[in-house]
Amino acid sequence: MKEQLLRKFEEVFGDIQGAKVYFAPGRVNLIGEHTDYNGGHVFPCALTIGTYAVVRKRQDRALQFYSTNFAHLGVIGCFLDDLVPDPTADWTNYPKGVMWAFEEKGMKIPFGMDILLSGNIPNGSGLSSSASVEVLTGFFLRDLFGFEVSNQELALIGQFSENQFNGVNCGIMDQFAIAMGKANSAIFLDTADLSYEYAPIELEGAKIVIACSNKKRGLGDSKYNERRSECEEALAELQQVVSVKSLGELSEEAFEQYKGAIKSEVRMRRAKHAVYENQRTLKAVEALKAGDILCFGELMNASHVSLRDDYEVTGVELDTLVEAAWKVEGVIGSRMTGAGFGGCTVSIVKEKCVEDFIRRVGEAYQVKIGYAADFYVVEIGDGPRVL
Ligand code: GLA
């Protein structure tokens, strides 16, 4: 892989003198969806698939970007002194946003760079290809210019750039899962204070299978920001009757007691999801620690139902994949993962049933939706690194 990337870099930028190769993973969230911007818990893990970068410093302040995933766009250039969001600059707005964020935080980037990216995360799949690029950019900036930032800070800078430069009000989950990833472990993160612990994922011979709906989505044009404001409004209403800083502070009982303060039925369902999903995440991690994988799977299923009925972020594509999965023998749990509105599902499937799962869910999807889904049996990998 490394050799192949260096050859491509040479082809695009002339030679490989001074070039270094980097990698940052993608992520999948096992449970705890749409809880991260509500002060709740999440349980994601980094994957072994992700984004590669070949980068070298230049003598001037020019930035030259090329991605093998967007080869038709060719080399896209700009200058360090001109880091502004530009719709015609396409995917380069993500690495540019991180460079802008470093500068905003007082870390001045002294030289431009030649940058080649190549990812094996399906684009727009909900496996966080954009957060992967953000963390990767922060990681190579730190390595090339010696900035003193921790991986946790790289996650926060990635989120800051996505919020401020790319206009998506995302939470911290994706960037954190990627920057702090650890092989064979999921990260149990409390987004209220960023305390976290690693939980080994021992699935007793079961596999994590991702089904990609191939319905493209971008967070920017989805209803993501709308859901976020609905939750904020519901919280403000609840704060009239109970003293809490976030929906994540409420137990199910407390929510039932105070929910009357929420003046719209829709906002009540949104808030209910945020509260119950957070509690499900706590229960799921307990179940996993106790070795009760079946209970973990049931909580995943309940998570999907809540995202479908109360939060309304699934859509026919994701529902078809999950509902077909629930019917297959050997499926321990299945749910949509990520923001929703398209993207992927995550299922835990007994190893001997994986082939049957892919065939049956694939057929049901093709029949109902009219085009194919893609399937990936994934492994949990480490965070960003130099190769
Ligand atoms: C996207 C966002 C995350 C999180 C999820 C939903 O992936 O980037 O911050 O809100 O959606 O759980």
Report d(CA 306, CA 299) in Å as an integer.
Answer: 10
Class of residue 93 by CB neighbours under 10 A (exposed 0-12, middle 13-18, buried 19+): buried
For the chain, the residue count is: 387
Rounded to an integer, the average pLDDT of 258-270 is 98
Burial class (CB in 10 A: 0-12, 13-18, 19+), 360: middle
Instruction: Report whether 12 contacts 75 (CB < 8 A).
Output: yes
- Is residue 223 predicted with pLDDT exceeding 90? no
The span from the CA of 142 to the CA of 121, in Å, is 23
CA 229 to centroid of ligand 1, rounded, Å: 14
Q: Rounded to the nearest whole angstrom, what is the distance from the C-alpha of residue 65 to the centroid of ligand 1?
A: 26
Chain-centroid distance, C-alpha 206: 22
At 349 the three-state DSSP class reads strand
Looking at the DSSP assignment, which residues form a beta bridge with residue 310? none
Q: Does 37 sit in the ligand 1 pocket, CB within 6 Å?
A: yes
Judged against a pLDDT cut of 90, whether residue 20 lies above it is answered with yes
Tell me the whole-structure pTM to 2 decimals: 0.96
Whose C-alpha lies nearest to ligand 1, atom 1?
A: 339
Pairing of strands 206-212, 113-119: unpaired
Do 178 and 49 form a contact (C-beta atoms < 8 A)? no
Measured in angstroms, how far is the CA atom of residue 6 from the centroid of ligand 1? 33
Catalytic residue positions? 174
β-pair partners for 345: 211, 336
Q: Are strands 62-67 and 113-119 parallel, antiparallel or unpaired?
A: parallel
| Secondary structure (3-state) at 265 | helix
**Structure-block tokens of residue 25:** 């993973």
Burial of 261 (0-12, 13-18, 19+ CB in 10 A): middle
Give pLDDT, residue 219. 53
Could you give the CA distance from residue 231 to residue 346 in angstroms, rounded to a whole number?
A: 25
In 3-state terms, what secondary structure has residue 183? coil
Ligand 1 neighbour 41 (Cβ under 6 A): no
Q: Is 178 near ligand 1, meaning CB less than 6 Å away? A: no
Q: pLDDT at position 221, please?
A: 55
Averaged pLDDT for residues 106-134: 92
Mutate-to-test residue for ligand 1 from 27, 30, 36, highest number of ligand atoms within 8 A of CB: 36
Query: Does residue 171 line the site of ligand 1, with CB under 6 A?
Result: yes
Digit-coded pLDDT (tens) for 62-96: 999 999 999 999 999 999 999 999 999 999 999 99
- Is 170 touching ligand 1 by the criterion CB < 6 Å? yes
> Residue 256 corresponds to which tokens in the numbers above?
């039932």
Would the CB of 338 count as within 6 Å of ligand 1? yes
Q: Indicate the DSSP class of residue 80.
A: G
Alpha helices in 113-264 (DSSP H): 129-145, 151-164, 173-179, 224-238, 252-258
**Under 8 Å between Cβ of 155 and 176:** yes
Ligand 1: nearest atom to the Cα of 33: 12
CA 171 to ligand 1: nearest atom: 9
Cβ pair 296, 32 in contact under 8 A: no
DSSP, collapsed to helix, strand or coil, labels residue 132 as helix
- Which percentage of the chain shows pLDDT scores above 90? 93
Ligand 1 contact via 339 beta carbon (within 6 Å): yes
H or E stretch covering 306:
helix 293-309
Q: What is the pLDDT of residue 263?
A: 97
Of 310, 326, 327, 308, residue with least CA distance to 318 = 308
Name the band, by pLDDT with cuts 50, 70 and 90, for residue 125.
Answer: confident
2-201 CATH pick, 1.10.230.10, 3.30.230.10, 2.60.40.420, 1.10.3720.10: 3.30.230.10
With a 6 Å cutoff on the Cβ, whether 273 touches ligand 1 is no
CA of 3 relative to ligand 1 center, distance in Å:
34
Q: Which residues of 313-337 are buried (b: 16+ CB within 10 A; e: fewer)?
A: bbbebbbbbbebbeebebbbbbbbb
CA of residue 158 to ligand 1 center, whole Å: 13
Q: Which two tokens stand for residue 59?
A: 């003598």
pLDDT at 218: 54
Residue from 127, 161, 170, 278 to probe ligand 1 pocket by mutation (most atoms less than 8 Å from CB): 170
Q: Which atom of ligand 1 is found nearest the CA of 29?
A: 12
Q: pLDDT per residue over 184-222, tens digit each? A: 999 999 999 999 999 999 887 899 999 999 986 655 456
Q: What residue ranges in 194-352 does DSSP mark as E strands?
A: 195-200, 206-212, 331-337, 344-350
> Residue 322: which of 312, 334, 340 has the closest Cα?
334
Q: Say yes or no: CB of residue 173 within 6 Å of ligand 1.
A: yes
